[in-house]
Amino acid sequence: MLIHSTWQLRVTGTTSLPRSHHLALVKDLHDRLNIRMGEEQTPSTTCSGILGNCDRSGDFITFFPEETYQLTLCGLQENSAKAIAELDLGNTLEFLGAEFEIVDRQDEITSYENLYTQLVANEPEPLRRFAVDFLTPTAFAQNRTHLPLPIPNLMFRSWLERWNHFAPVYLGSDDLITYLTTYITISRHHIRTSVIPMYQGQCTGFTGKVTLQAIGQVEPLLANVAHLLVQYASFAGTGIKTRLSMGQTNIL
């Protein structure tokens, strides 16, 4: 089971929170889900934090009553997906003294088997271009540093490792990554870097739109596997610290 749940939020008055508020929000949500953070080597949830038009000045972020904000939670395996499906936040979301009114919720529920059948097993006409929007700062672990760049090898590896960890259908490993990044490259991008607070300080990531383009004679089966992994990114996120609101990924 996979779930992608999105809540639409509003504030009744101008509201300011610390830049690190997403850490308190993530902890509160996981307490509600009865999921202990830090016990999973590969996190079974992703969280977007609160997204939308806000003012970032100094150490605070300000939310405005005329705007609508969005919060997304995804579950990548049966237990976490069921916990999110059953999560009832009521009419308001309260944390750190702030109150957000919940105006709507939408759930996308599917399964690994269903995604694989639709996008690979049924042998659809392969796509050669994928447009991906990175909504929150995204980075990849490299030795002791974090790389804030959309490198195709690192993106596909991030998606594939999560898929192979949680899905009943194994897709492949290094040979698949080598093949995909030989024939799929970045044709355009519009990105910028931004800093997000973390428990140990802060992390720099990139946000923005990236277009992946197949070049040359790509095997239809492997082009469809690439499409599957790109679609899976909307659930699994991309890169590091996706549970802590990094790497939130939208497929355009």
pLDDT at 38: 81
Q: Token match 């639709």: residue?
A: 118
pLDDT at 143: 85
H/E stretch holding 226 reads helix 220-236
Query: For residues 160 and 173, what is the distance between their CA atoms, to the nearest angstrom?
Result: 8
49 close to 207: Cβ distance less than 8 angstroms: no
CA 36, 61, 65, 245 dihedral sign is negative
Q: What percentage of residues in the chain have a pLDDT greater than 70?
A: 100
Q: What is the DSSP letter of 13?
A: S
pLDDT given at position 75: 98
Least confident of 100-109, 140-149, 227-236: 140-149
Structure tokens at 41: 């080597």
Q: Mean pLDDT for the chain?
A: 96
Angstrom distance (rounded) from CA 219 to CA 217: 6
Q: pLDDT band for position 148 (50/70/90)? A: very high
Lowest mean pLDDT among 22-26, 115-119, 214-218, 222-226: 214-218
- The pTM for the full model equals 0.96
> How far apart are the C-alpha atoms of 50 and 187, rounded to whole Å?
30
Using CA atoms, how far residue 98 sits from 104, 139, 173, 209, in Å, is 18, 29, 45, 31
- 68, 8 Cβ separation under 8 angstroms: yes
Give me the pLDDT at residue 240, please. Answer: 97
Q: How many CB atoms lie within 10 A of CB 193?
A: 14
Confidence band, pLDDT 50/70/90 cuts, at residue 76: very high
Is a pLDDT exceeding 90 seen at residue 6?
yes
Please check the confidence at residue 136 and state whether its pLDDT lies above 90. Answer: yes
**What's the pLDDT band for 57 if we cut at 50, 70, 90?**
confident
At 31, the amino acid letter reads: D
Sign of the C-alpha dihedral, residues 5, 163, 192, 212? Answer: negative
State mean pLDDT over 61-76. 98
Give residue 108's pLDDT. Answer: 98
Task: Sketch out the chain's domains with CATH numbers.
Answer: 2-110 (3.30.70.1890), 126-251 (3.30.70.1900)
For residue 209, which amino acid is it? K
CB neighbourhood size of 75 (10 A): 26
For the chain, give the percent of residues with pLDDT over 90: 93
For the segment 140-165, the average pLDDT, to the nearest whole number, is 96
Q: Which residues contact 89 (CB under 8 A, 6 or more apart)?
A: 7, 32, 102
Q: Is the pLDDT of residue 200 over 90?
A: no
